[in-house]
Amino acid sequence: MYSENISAQESPEYLRMSLAAAMTLDFVPGLFYRGARLGCVNLLLNYSDGCRANCAFCGLASQRQPAKSGKSFIRVPWRIYSTDDIIRAINKAPEYVSRVCISMITHPKSKMDTISACKEIASRTSLAISLLITPTLLNREDLVAMKEAGAERVGVAIDAATEDLFKKLRGKPVKGPHDWNKYWEIYDQSLEIFGKGMAGVHLICGIGETEREMVSAITRAKEMGGSTHLFSFFPEQGSAMQSMSPPAIGTYRRIQFARWS
Ligand code: SF4
């Protein structure tokens, strides 16, 4: 069922699953602190040659050390399972599990495989499906195809709060392919295609922005008609930003508060 050999088993037949989702679906034993429950099964595409981008803060960046097989993402390991096994487990999941989220990475096969995995899960389960999309690989027609495949909503991980930071951490200076304007353009088109409130922007607090800049990015995403999802920077071992500190708790709390106000 579970394989350590993550490079031999690629999407769409195989997907990586977050540790919390694997615990929720009984793939691995474990208990959540204070009885917390996970309502969303988080899945990630997998390719032997990994993500082609090189975002400075990311555990999946192509130039990250150590070897690809040891890479974590957002602090936790993502083990690989067959898509069939995942779908079977979703159909036996506790009733509080209501959603699946499939995350793209920057890879030439990623667009078609995301659509294919989305179709498969939509046709064989009753859960709502979200996609975390990679704008660099997409155009308007692709968003339409994703909706037709069964996706209910999408997230766009802009991550950096300003254009300068985005370029420095995700663009040419780190040998990455991503472009700030393209990310906002695809977010705008996502709102048009999926509907107001059905697209959102991910932002990471503590990667070099000021509090004012983060609030501006949150405001921009909200005024366009979508939502925001806030993350606190965590220095992934082996990433280019491994020695940076997470944001001060006061900063993060103020940004959380601003996001809700
Ligand atoms: S595109 Fe996404 S997965 Fe790839 S390095 Fe950047 S943040 Fe990580």
- Please name the residue that has the structure tokens 């900063």: 251
Neighbours of 84 (CB within 10 A): 12
Give the model confidence (pLDDT) of 139-158 as tens digits. 999 999 999 999 999 999 99
Spatial distance between the Cα atoms of 25 and 220, rounded to a whole number of angstroms: 37
User: What are the extents of the domains in the chain?
Assistant: 2-260
Look at ligand 1, atom 2, and give the residue with the nearest C-alpha: 105
Least confident of 40-54, 74-88, 144-158: 74-88
Give the model confidence (pLDDT) of 204-226 as tens digits. 999 999 999 999 999 999 999 99
Atom of ligand 1 nearest to the CA of 159: 7
Residue 136, pLDDT > 90, answer yes
Spatial distance between the Cα atoms of 50 and 16, rounded to a whole number of angstroms: 12
Q: What angle do CA 257, 163, 156 make, to 5 degrees?
A: 65
Mutate to test the pocket of ligand 1, among 11, 63, 106 (most ligand atoms within 8 A of CB): 106
pLDDT at 238: 85
Both structure tokens of 86: 């995942």
Relative to beta strand 78-82, strand 2-3 is antiparallel
Residue 67, pLDDT > 50, answer no
Q: What is the mean pLDDT of the chain?
A: 93
Atom of ligand 1 nearest to the CA of 62: 5
Ligand 1 centroid vs 19 CA: distance in angstroms? Answer: 19
- Binding-site residues, ligand 1, Cβ < 6 A: 51, 53-55, 58, 60-61, 105-106
Long-range contacts for 249-254 (Cβ within 8 Å, ≥24 apart)? 251/205, 251/206, 251/211, 252/205, 252/206, 254/211
Spatial distance between the Cα atoms of 61 and 196, rounded to a whole number of angstroms: 32
Mutate to test the pocket of ligand 1, among 52, 105, 156 (most ligand atoms within 8 A of CB): 105
Residue 168, pLDDT > 80, answer yes
Could you tell me which CATH number the domain at 2-260 has?
A: 3.20.20.70
List strand residue ranges (DSSP E) for 120-160, in order.
128-133, 153-159
Q: How confident is the model at residue 6 (pLDDT cuts 50, 70, 90)?
A: low
Per the CB < 8 A criterion, the answer to whether 144 and 195 are in contact is no
* Better-predicted residue by pLDDT, 203 or 74: 203
Mean pLDDT for the stretch of residues 10-23 = 96
